Amino acid sequence: MPEGDTIHRAAETLHRALAGRTVTRFVSVFPQLTRIDDSTPLTGRTVTRVGARGKHLLIWFSGDLVLRTHMRMHGSWHIYRPGERWQRPGHEMRIVIETDAFHAIGFTIPVAEFSTAAALERDSPAGKLGPDPLNDAFDPDEAVRRLRARGDMEAADALLDQTAIAGLGNVYKSEVLFAARINPFTAVSALTDAQLRSMVDIAARFLRANVPERQTPSAGAGNGITTYRGMRRTTGRADPSARLWVYGREGEPCRRCGTPISRRRQGPHARSTYWCPRCQPDDRSA
């Protein structure tokens, strides 16, 4: 599933391509979107801005209309010049937003809805998110407070709770806890405020390090594709084979101590958690 850094990168690229431009054509396979387009057409509206909140991508149109999409596991937004060949098959298209200069295509997006700005804040999941480390108004103290309120949850599951801190997914969950030297199965109630603050600070640092300076899309095949293609780094190392501390490395030696990395299914959705048993000891067994 795309995590917060992926969605922010996509939103920034879409913003640079679409903001200030007039919609010349809108197409979607979603009836809930086409009904809105039929009653209040998208064609002729201006894309005012594109942004992200956690894992939600938001496209704002003139006339108080907001398109919220969520990528889940396989969705992505691409940008093409008019006439440029798509790099995904047509049957995977879910949304098309065309302007004179760029076409934005949403492929295999499972969640999409229109709302007003007020409804977005009042009724949408995007309005109920916790602090987003990639937002300029990010409040780490509020993130710590929200994590502390989830005392019965295990640390890894708490980091995945988007109403506590937004944008973290399965990769960052394991990477943050390794860097903080916290066992992922420790209850939040057993963590100190300093440990929670360390988790929040590391999460912010990792996310921000993976959202570098963006460039305006240019002509040429594939230059506008916005989805980040898996080169996320948390170790700071240039070597692609050494870009992550623990995620996806079950049985491989810990980059700190050499202990084999462990993996276990965790939480209500049985997501894989990776950790080093030596660097992140389970204090419950002490």
Which residues carry out catalysis?
Answer: 2-3, 55
Q: What's the order of all strands across the beta sheet hosting 25-28? A: 25-28, 93-98, 103-107, 76-80
Residue 205 CB neighbours (<10 A): 14
* DSSP 3-state of 219: coil
Q: In 89-219, which ranges are E strands?
A: 93-98, 103-107, 111-115
**Please, are residues 79 and 102 in contact by the beta-carbon 8 Å criterion?**
yes
Q: Which of 197, 202, 132 is nearest to 167 (CA)?
A: 132
Q: Which residue, 125, 129, 81, 78, is CA-closest to 102?
A: 81
139 Cβ neighbours under 8 A, 6+ residues apart: 131
| Cα gap 234→121, rounded to integer Å | 32
Q: Are 11 and 135 a contacting pair, CB within 8 Å?
A: no
Task: Write the burial class of residue 202 (CB in 10 Å: 0-12 exposed, 13-18 middle, 19+ buried).
Answer: buried
The set of residues, in sequence order, having a beta carbon less than 8 Å from that of 102 and lying 6+ positions away, is: 17, 18, 21, 79, 80, 81, 82, 217, 224
Residue type, 19: A
N-terminal to C-terminal alpha carbon distance within the chain = 35
